[in-house]
Amino acid sequence: MTICQNNKSVPKISLTRSSVNDLLTISDVAEHFQLQPSTVRRIVRNGQLSAHKIGRDYRLSWADVWMIEKAPQPRGAAQEARYRQSLITKVDIAAGMNVSIRTVDRWIASGLPTRNVGDNIRMNPQDAQEWLKAEFGLLAPLYPHLTDEPV
């Protein structure tokens, strides 16, 4: 079944209570990506990020959020929980490791896993922690996202 909106045929979406609780607001997505809400709204309006308009607000699913990240999609409940964490920036890693941003850029070129959003380079804190441990044997204090506790 479809509904018509502004002379466009839009598929009718059936939402259950649990799926409604899993929908994200623009602010939630902005926090996840470490971006400004206005940037996320612009990405949605440009059609790069799929969203459902409810009244004047947008709602997004985790699947849609992960689709825009230039990275592998999470598989299974454990990975989904992991990739719901807020992403961190190069600045966060540089501050946590007390190195320059250029050093972090070199690490990225060497294989530090990223989950990019457009031109914005972001990383999952656990992925970064595991890579740093494997590459250098270090546990990075990626505060406030992770501590130097073992992974």
Count CA atoms closer than 13 A to 29's CA, side-chain side: 30
Looking at residue 11, its pLDDT comes to 43
Q: How far is Cα 67 from Cα 58, in angstroms, rounded to an integer?
A: 17
Contact present, 121 and 108 (Cβ < 8 Å): yes
- Cβ partners under 8 Å of residue 69, min gap 6: 115, 116, 117, 122
Looking at residue 108, its pLDDT comes to 96
Looking at residue 119, its pLDDT comes to 86
Looking at residue 44, its pLDDT comes to 92
Q: In whole angstroms, how far apart are CA 12 and each of 24, 46, 50, 52, 57?
A: 19, 22, 15, 11, 17
In this prediction the pTM is 0.74
Looking at residue 89, its pLDDT comes to 93
Q: What is the dihedral of CA 11, 13, 14, 17, to 10 degrees?
A: 180
Tokens of 46: 């440009």
Alpha carbon of residue 46 to chain centroid: 18
pLDDT in tens, the chain (151 residues): 333 344 444 444 444 433 445 799 999 999 999 999 999 999 999 989 999 988 888 999 999 999 998 888 888 998 999 899 899 999 999 988 889 999 999 999 999 999 988 889 999 998 998 999 899 887 776 655 554 444 4
Beta-carbon count within 10 A of 52 CB: 14
Name which of 143, 3, 67 is nearest 128 in CA terms.
143
Tokens of 34: 């470490």
Looking at residue 19, its pLDDT comes to 45
Beta-carbon count within 10 A of 39 CB: 16
